[in-house]
Chains A and B, each alone.
Chain A
Amino acid sequence: MPSIRVVNLKKYFGKVKAVDGISFEVKDGEFVALLGPSGCGKTTTLLMLAGIYKPTGGEIWFDDQLMNDVPPKFREIGMVFQNYALYPHMTIYENIAFPLRAKKMEEGEIKKRVYDVAKKLMIEKLLDRKPGQISGGQQQRVALARALIKQPKVLLFDEPLSNLDAKLRMMMRAEIKKLQEDLGITSVYVTHDQAEAMTMASRIVVFNKGKIMQYGTPDEVYRNPKNLFVATFIGNPAMNLIRNLSYIRKDGRAFLISKSLHLELPEDVAKKIEEAKKQEGLVLGFRPEDAEIVHEESGLGFWAYVYVLEPLGRDLIINLKVSETDELIKVFAESGVVVDKDEKVFVKLRPEGIHVFDSETEELIV
């Protein structure tokens, strides 16, 4: 299986820069997700990998071969589409056999291969039906079968699960991951669902506005977001942000302050902010699970009041506000914590969970 290397890839549609100079690498047999909001260029990138779109600039390499103007049919790829793209007038059998017919394979071999792949995906009973007569989940399997039958070296997925209901989606998620691991086919998976990307991929490319925001393992993009976009896009609920903070040093101690907030910083964090030479327009970020609610001031943290409670069964999310005008802060409550609405509480932060961003460049400082 080849590795994929994308270098400074660009795709412009007239004046619109759909993909604007991106570079990343997919290792042999790796499963990489392209994650981003709709219209961020992730599907365009996938279609360039497939050879449907020709890049405006940059390079696409499969191993050591430049693929830029190699037509799709020579790329040895399989692709699963969002709407499955099953041909409505053909039976399931004909749909799955289509790639082999394009290769002018002999009928006996086609039949054998179709039955093999159908068995693997548990759709052998559907072969005589038309796509309109089977369920969404079954169509999904047929689309997978059609992508796999020609034994591709690269698999491309374009939001394949977004048309399924939540339960089926969870199931197919696990199945596709298992299938990919078993076959070891280099895979690129486009999705706007961060949970899908986090659970399935070994690495995630986070996209926004045609650019790569961050490329790393699920743990990296979650723990160490490189910028505000990644911080807010990944994680559910998203990372808490407190904006418009200023950095000051008083009596040798370092603080982040605003009209309503006063947070003393640990020395290592303070040093990094001083290195970055930023004093104004700082943004504090921390994940809901990196804070806890206590009733008295203790160490690193700040005071806020309880806004509304969201019980989720197993967990409880406490929504807080520092002041009337600030954004909501969500914190997962520790079991046994009892708070009332409008109660003043202390939000205690874990020192390693603190992130500070520059609001101008949106980049991470700490």
Chain B
Amino acid sequence: MKGKGKAWIFLTPMVVLVVMFFAIPVILTIVLSFTNMDYTFKWNFIGLGNFKDIATDFVIPKVLLNTLIYTFTTLALFNVGCALLISLLTTSMPDRWGSFFRTLWMLPRLTPSVVYGILWLWIFDPTEHGLVNFIRAQMGMPPQDWLHQAPMVIIIVANGFIGASMGMLIFTAAIKAIPTDYYRAALIDGASWWMITRKITLPLIKWQLLFVTAYQTLSLLTSFEYILIITNGGPTFRTEVWALYTYHMAFSNYRFGYGAALSVILVILGTVFALLYLKMFKFEDLMQKPKVEVD
């Protein structure tokens, strides 16, 4: 149907807001990355100066390594690994139990981040009040200061328990969409649970596995909220990831120009991934009818 004028009546509120707080900042970020703006808010163009600084910044290699470890370990262990395990197990038990567990796994995602942070601070509390140290104490072991011993493990686990839920939802929906007759036929043919999983379920949800892997790579690459709350990047940069480093540069050190440049690199990295999966999975077809909003 035609309706040039009317369409814009429907779109104007959205377009105005999106341009103001989304499109303009996108452009502004790029422009700012060529300045050395600080808390004085003076526009001072320095060309590629920020990018040269990034190349020689002695923290960057550490940050990059942290980012890669954090992103891919969380992805493999939780966002895909744990999500798949939960989906496979909960779809192989009576649905009352299955949805009970899946509901529990949704809980972290919907809990405010700061409250969720408290839970992990308690679990890894350095005294015997904390869960891990309490359990150790029952076995006669001394408490450990986990935030210093293994901060990376803590942020991976904490993020993983949230990240698993999206994959869980997608995999579960995909597994449930497999016709029951396939399973019945396989059962009659004498296949074990493991053989059915390997030969039937996994090949049939291959596409969803690829999708979640790609999508969650991007999400993890840019996530830093829980790290900020739980370790704030510490101790001494041991959990400082790229996105958090950007945030610290801009809002702790007030190096806005430098922060913007770091953002641009993050976006380029993200865009490369985005384009990759746009090509790989025909993303536009996929987005015809998305009916779930999670990330």
A binds B: yes
Residue in chain A with minimal CB distance to B181: A85
Chain A, range 75-114, C-beta contacts under 8 Å to B: 75, 77-79, 81-83, 85, 87-90, 98-99, 101-103
Contact A73–B187 (Cβ < 8 Å):
yes
A89 to B207, CA, bound (A): 12
A79 to B190, CA, bound (A): 12
Judge whether A134 is part of the interface by a CB distance below 8 angstroms: no
A79 to B186, CA, bound (A): 10
Per-residue contact bits, chain A 9-50, to B (CB 8 Å; 1 contact, 0 not) = 000000000000000000000000000000000000001001
A99 to B200, CA, bound (A): 13
What would be 16 A-B contacts, judged by CB atoms less than 8 Å apart? A51-B187, A51-B188, A72-B187, A72-B190, A73-B188, A79-B184, A79-B188, A81-B181, A85-B185, A87-B199, A98-B191, A99-B190, A102-B191, A102-B192, A103-B190, A146-B189
Judge whether A150 is part of the interface by a CB distance below 8 angstroms: yes
A10 to B139, CA, bound (A): 52
Q: Given A72-B190, A85-B181, 15 other A-B contacts at CB below 8 A?
A: A50-B184, A51-B188, A73-B189, A83-B181, A85-B182, A87-B199, A87-B200, A88-B204, A89-B203, A98-B186, A98-B191, A99-B189, A101-B199, A102-B192, A146-B185
Which of chain A's residues have a CB closer than 8 A to the CB of B186? Answer: 98, 102
Judge whether B28 is part of the interface by a CB distance below 8 angstroms: no
Which of chain A's residues have a CB closer than 8 A to the CB of B181? Answer: 81-83, 85
Judge whether B46 is part of the interface by a CB distance below 8 angstroms: no
Residues of A at the B interface (CB closer than 8 Å) are: 47, 50-52, 71-73, 75, 77-79, 81-83, 85, 87-90, 98-99, 101-103, 146, 150, 156
Judge whether B179 is part of the interface by a CB distance below 8 angstroms: yes
Residue from A75, A78, A85 whose CB has the most chain B CB atoms within 10 Å: A85
With both chains docked as a complex, state the minimum distance between the C-beta of B58 and any C-beta of chain A, in angstroms: 50
Which of chain A's residues have a CB closer than 8 A to the CB of B203? Answer: 89-90
Judge whether B195 is part of the interface by a CB distance below 8 angstroms: yes
A150 to B189, CA, bound (A): 8
Contact B182–A102 (Cβ < 8 Å):
no
A73 to B186, CA, bound (A): 9
Which 3 A-B pairs give the minimum distances between C-beta atoms?
A73-B190, A99-B189, A85-B181
Which of chain B's residues have a CB closer than 8 A to the CB of A47? Answer: 184
A99 to B195, CA, bound (A): 11
A215 to B147, CA, bound (A): 74
Which of chain B's residues have a CB closer than 8 A to the CB of A103? Answer: 190
Chain B, range 68-102, C-beta contacts under 8 Å to A: none
A75 to B189, CA, bound (A): 10
Residue in chain B with minimal CB distance to A73: B190
Residue in chain B with minimal CB distance to A50: B188
Which of chain B's residues have a CB closer than 8 A to the CB of A99? Answer: 189-190
With both chains docked as a complex, state the minimum distance between the C-beta of B92 and any C-beta of chain A, in angstroms: 14
Partner of B184 from the list A75, A85, A88, A90 (CB cut-off 8 Å) is: A85
With both chains docked as a complex, state the minimum distance between the C-beta of B186 and any C-beta of chain A, in angstroms: 7
Residue in chain B with minimal CB distance to A75: B188
With both chains docked as a complex, state the minimum distance between the C-beta of A262 and any C-beta of chain B, in angstroms: 55
A75 to B188, CA, bound (A): 8
Which of chain B's residues have a CB closer than 8 A to the CB of A50? Answer: 184, 188
A50 to B183, CA, bound (A): 13
Chain B, range 170-227, C-beta contacts under 8 Å to A: 179, 181-182, 184-192, 195, 199-200, 203-204
With both chains docked as a complex, state the minimum distance between the C-beta of A48 and any C-beta of chain B, in angstroms: 12
Residue in chain A with minimal CB distance to B189: A99
Which of chain B's residues have a CB closer than 8 A to the CB of A90? Answer: 199, 203
Known: A87-B200, A89-B204, A98-B199. A52 touches B184 (CB 8 A): yes
Residue in chain B with minimal CB distance to A143: B185
With both chains docked as a complex, state the minimum distance between the C-beta of A316 and any C-beta of chain B, in angstroms: 44
Which of chain B's residues have a CB closer than 8 A to the CB of A87? Answer: 182, 199-200
Which of chain B's residues have a CB closer than 8 A to the CB of A102? Answer: 186, 189-192, 195
With both chains docked as a complex, state the minimum distance between the C-beta of B279 and any C-beta of chain A, in angstroms: 23
With both chains docked as a complex, state the minimum distance between the C-beta of B210 and any C-beta of chain A, in angstroms: 14
A156 to B184, CA, bound (A): 12
A260 to B191, CA, bound (A): 65
Contact B190–A52 (Cβ < 8 Å):
no
With both chains docked as a complex, state the minimum distance between the C-beta of B149 and any C-beta of chain A, in angstroms: 45
With both chains docked as a complex, state the minimum distance between the C-beta of A259 and any C-beta of chain B, in angstroms: 53
A77 to B199, CA, bound (A): 21
A165 to B237, CA, bound (A): 70
Which of chain B's residues have a CB closer than 8 A to the CB of A71? Answer: 187
Contact A83–B184 (Cβ < 8 Å):
no
Known: A89-B204, A98-B199, A102-B195. A52 touches B188 (CB 8 A): yes
Which of chain B's residues have a CB closer than 8 A to the CB of A79? Answer: 184-185, 188
Residue in chain B with minimal CB distance to A82: B181
Which of chain A's residues have a CB closer than 8 A to the CB of B187? Answer: 51-52, 71-73
A72 to B192, CA, bound (A): 11
With both chains docked as a complex, state the minimum distance between the C-beta of A187 and any C-beta of chain B, in angstroms: 14
Contact A98–B189 (Cβ < 8 Å):
yes
Chain B, range 130-154, C-beta contacts under 8 Å to A: none
Contact A81–B189 (Cβ < 8 Å):
no
Residue from A77, A81, A146 whose CB has the most chain B CB atoms within 10 Å: A81
